Chain A
Amino acid sequence: MRLYLGGYLNFYNPQHGNWLVVDINQPSHLKEVLVELGIPVSDVYLVVLNGQLVELSETIVSGEDEVKLYPAVGGG
């Protein structure tokens, strides 16, 4: 799975690059994948799965998917 950590979620990417490649062998709950990666799910505000805005709690991902995550965006 290709995973994009937007905004301050990228803080939790050890490489601080925009994209991570995550090995997923079978369809999995995205939330569990994120917990395993150490990404705070309470700070995930937007989930875009293969170009579609989806709900984190309902999202199942597999190896071919592209996922983009963003935290809540403040003003300024």
Chain B
Amino acid sequence: MIYGTTAKILRVDLSTGSIEVEEFTEDFYRLYPGGKALAGYILLNEMPPRTDPFAPENVLVIANGLLTGAPVSTATRYVVSARSPLTMGYGESEAGGFWGPELKMAGFEAIIIKGRSPKPVYLWINEGEVEIRPAGHLWGRLTAEVQEAIRGELGDDKIRVLQIGPAGENLVRYAGITNDLRHFNGRNGMGAVMGSKNLRAVAVRGLQRYQTLAYDPDALMKLGRKLAKGVKESPQSWDLQERGTPGIVEPLNISGILPTRNFRQGAFENVDQIKWEAYEKELLTARRSCYACAVRCKREVAVEGQTSVYGGPEYETIASFGPNCGVGDLQVIAKANEICNAYMLDSISTGATIAFAMECFEHGLIGLDDTDGLDLRFGNAKAMLTMIDWIARRKGFGNILAEGVMRAAENIGGDAHFFALHVKGQELPMHDPRGKYNVGIGYAISEIGADHLVVAHDTMLTNPESIPFTNARPLGITEAQPARSMSEEKMKQFYILEKLTSLEKVIGYCFFGPAPRSHIQIDEMLLSINAATGWNLSVEDALLIGERATNMARIFNTREGFSRKDDVLPERLFKELENGALQGEAMPREEFEQALTVLYGLKGWNPETGNPTREGLDALSLGWAADMLA
């Protein structure tokens, strides 16, 4: 028996309707145990370079983490991966919730979806049995309606439904995927890939328990109980439970790095109207969790007096539709969140794209004739809400914005490219790197384009006596560094922290699980992996798994023609912030370039091209992939 896994992968070809199940071996499992590693291996080996993201040949992988579904706090996550229509590179997006654990309970680690169905369909996975069912009657409908319809026709309200919305059907390049209406694979346009395959949903029901797969279920259960109790004893996870991500709005504003008006500014004059205290008073109705998670960071809210079925806006959504669009009204932001989730758009890219359009409008690059009469100025909440709807339906000017800022800027022309804040085509998340440089390095180097979950943010590791720094020491992080530094020591930290985050994406832990961001100590993380698998991994062994996964994604991009020239930041970040605590500050360009060179060296990549080398890949047991670069 291979412990900690069902070892089963479901293969579905939607063009032919074929359904197959295959099993992997222990040797394979040790190298590619799940999530990002499993998806990366499959994409590299089963998809030829330069596959059109919307062609039937694009391979869509949904892969659970090794621990997903284990009775351990925050181990809930799965990745969705394919070639991204937004970046044209390696595509990936993670989500928590209940769907991943349910897939494991139904008997599968991952689903590989190829081809394109001639008509809309959904998959129904019930206790290991798989069926492709018609979805013509679901096509075009909002996500809440579709979840209810699927549960109704299958006669079980406990079925977990993963689905795209109308935005994915319409191939909006940043359409996402939702499960349970409240958890999102938002980034990289994975919903559009699913839509291109005419696949509306994957419904799952399973009854197997993770404990039956574990090497030492008692040790795993004991750790699970300890971590559940520990959430309330850890200041960081306690705070995540109390406030959730909306709690960071005000401190980021004070720090001068709350993206405001398309990253022109770092402080928002109406922050009091959107900070946590306002959220708690005006929106909050309850707190919720993902499967077996004791942190409970999810918020439930009331929108227009009604409890929303789509959950409450996270920090990213608040900042994206709030300060970044110049809007200081929580009800509007909550409504924007609801529209995104009903149509299933990535709320980060949607808000960022509208902010881009607002700046183009204010600079006269587009006018009322272009926007079909919509006065797209910063702060116009009504126009912003209308535009979300138009983007999802590709109506009018929304059709141009549905392509994302990079392509929209090409379409608009002139100086529009300066206002298009993206890396590799993906819009910037809501963290201004001018106040935390490693976040900027992460935006630049991430294989999926601008991503804020590449490393723990710099500010957490500036004081050697602080809780997060103390908890990061077992990783080999020993020297506190300023947030606004890209020193060699800082790049060493980046290298370690990136491996950790990548490992989390392989084993299914949330960013809000392990230290330094939250309550699970590094030795506890190792214990959970070892209790599940029977392995005896050290910290270095575990980090190697993360590094291997990152390298596979990098190889995918190298194969597609990406290189150091694509590890860049938008020009605006090298310009001065207009207001706030960091007014007048900019990313230092030369230091940024030097830091990349140092980092490539640490990673075993060619410092000039940024490409992985055979020596580096051999050390990661990825010699087979080096052949792809020859």
Chains A and B come from one and the same complex: yes
| Residues on A facing B (Cβ under 8 Å) | 6-12, 16, 18, 40, 42-43, 45-46, 48, 53, 68, 70-76
Question: B235: which A residues are within 8 A, CB to CB?
Answer: 8-9, 11-12, 43, 71
Q: Which residues of B contact A76 (CB under 8 A)?
A: 245, 248, 314-315, 452-453, 511-512, 517
Task: Determine if A53 and B581 form an interchain contact, defined as CB atoms under 8 angstroms apart.
Answer: yes
Chain B residues whose CB sits within 8 angstroms of the CB of A43 once the complex forms:
235, 463, 466-467
CB within 8 Å for A18 and B277 given contacts A6-B250, A46-B254, A74-B517: yes
Whether A73 contacts B252 by the Cβ 8 Å rule is: yes
Name B216-243 residues within 8 Å CB distance of A.
235-236, 238-239, 242-243
A-B contact sample (5 more), CB < 8 A, given A70-B254, A73-B255, A76-B314? A6-B247, A16-B242, A18-B277, A74-B460, A74-B516
The binding surface of chain B is classed by DSSP as helix
| Cβ contacts under 8 Å, B516 to chain A | 74
B490 to chain A: closest CB distance in Å?
15
Q: In the complex, what residues of A have CB within 8 A of residue B243's CB?
A: 7
**Which of B242, B255, B463, B466 is A10 in contact with, Cβ under 8 Å?**
B242
* A75 contacts across to B, CB distance below 8 A: 431, 439, 452-453, 456-457, 511, 517
Convert B445-482 into 0s and 1s, putting 1 for each residue whose CB lies closer than 8 angstroms to a CB of A.
00000001100110110111111100000000000000
Instruction: Give the residue of A68, A70, A72 whose beta carbon is less than 8 angstroms from that of B460.
Output: A72
A75 to B462, CA, bound (A): 15
Number of contacts between A and B (CB, 8 Å)? Answer: 90
Is the beta-carbon distance between B251 and A73 smaller than 8 angstroms? yes
B467 contact from A10, A40, A73, Cβ within 8 A: A40
| Contact residue among A10, A11, A45, A53 (Cβ-Cβ distance under 8 Å from B462) | A45
Residues of B within 8 A of A11 (CB): 235, 238-239
| Beta-carbon nearest neighbor of B462 in chain A | A72
User: Can you name 8 A-B pairs with beta carbons within 8 Å?
Assistant: A6-B251, A10-B242, A42-B464, A53-B581, A72-B457, A73-B248, A74-B468, A75-B511
Contact pattern, B 298-324, Cβ under 8 Å of A = 1, otherwise 0: 000000000000000011000000000
Decide: B239 and A10 in contact? CB cutoff 8 A.
Answer: yes
For the complex, give the distance between the alpha carbons of A68 and B255 in Å: 13
User: In the complex, what distance in Å separates the CA atom of A59 from the CA atom of B456?
Assistant: 29
Task: State the Cβ distance, B464 to closest chain A Cβ, in Å.
Answer: 8
| Separation of A71 and B452 alpha carbons in the complex (Å) | 19
Residues from chain B with Cβ under 8 Å of A12 in the complex: 235
B508 to chain A, nearest CB (A): 16
**Least distance between A23 CB and chain B CB atoms (Å):** 25
Q: Nearest B residue to A70 by beta-carbon distance?
A: B251
